[in-house]
Amino acid sequence: MKVIEHIERAQSPEFSFEIIPPPRGKSAQEIIDIVTKLQHYNPPYIDVTSHSAEAIYDDLADGTIKRRIKKKRPGTISICGIIQNRFNIDTVAHLLCRGFTREETEDALIELNYLGIQNVLAIRGDETNYKKPLSKDKSINPHTKELVEQINNMNRGKYLDEILDADATDFCVGVGGYPEKHFEAPNLKTDIKYLKTKLDAGADYIVTQMVFDNTAYFRFVEECKAAGINVPIIPGIKVINRLSQLNNIPRNFHVDLPDALVDEIRETPGQVREIGFEWAYGQCRELLEAGVKNLHFYIMNDTGVVTRIIDRLK
């Protein structure tokens, strides 16, 4: 089932999750154990992130440095297949512009289609320290809008090369939204203008970057509506559980942490997990009371605190 169908048919609040593939060298058992725990909460879908390659520099014994190119977390499509077909939970595969050619994207979409996966999240992806060389016979999607267009072309049976009587795919396409604006945009109004181009290209729903202030989410929804965006906008929730996240999250994800949350953690750093839990629980309760149908948790493969929040909400 598609994400938008889950939202339309929901009779009670639903909780979805985003997980990351295990590091290179680890088995899929970690993911199987995580999904085994999450399935008890009947998630409508689970997102699986994707990662482009990056440059790794190794110091050699002779004093020289060796440069290697690799993905730290491969396996997105395989993990989606496990979740979709072993657990019968709808899965959302993340597709990136950066680090992937349009030809690789088409192949990934074909594999996902064969696996029975109907949902993808189209995003540009983070900047890395490596840019893949592009041969003359390859092309890229420079922005998310073009990636959405490629996916929807395949939904109409249009592939990169002309194929006679090609079968159409049937993907539901999500895109990311930024309640506090994307850090590269000059202001929120401009960011929403760019967001609308992704919807006009065929995206079906929006899931927000992690947001810690519901006021920002509600304002974002209203401004999107004013701009003519009328698709579901799913709030992204992240639970603070380590002191280091006060610096890491704003730096890595370009989001603001509310003064009240930061002050409380700094005053009693030994209680950071409990403070983070109570803050996220309060957020979730307020969102549900406002009529939000779907909360999306960024769990980073740590299920404990999130399932505790859902238990309390229920």
For 41-109, give the secondary structure using H, E and C.
HCCCEEEECCCCCEEEEEECCCCCEEEEEECCCCCHHHHHHHHHHHCCCEEEEEEECCCCEHHHHHHHH
φ/ψ of residue 167, rounded to 5: -75, 140
> Which of 14, 18, 149, 180 is the catalytic position?
18
**Cβ 152 vs Cβ 202: under 8 Å:** yes
Active site residue 18: yes
Burial per residue of 188-215, b for 16 or more beta-carbon CB atoms within 10 angstroms, e otherwise: beebbeebbebbebbbbbbbbbbbbbbe
Task: Name the strand (E) or helix (H) holding 120.
Answer: strand 119-123
Look at the block and give the residue holding tokens 């002191």.
243
**What is the Cα–Cα distance from 276 to 282, expressed in whole angstroms?**
10
Catalytic residues, by residue number, are: 18
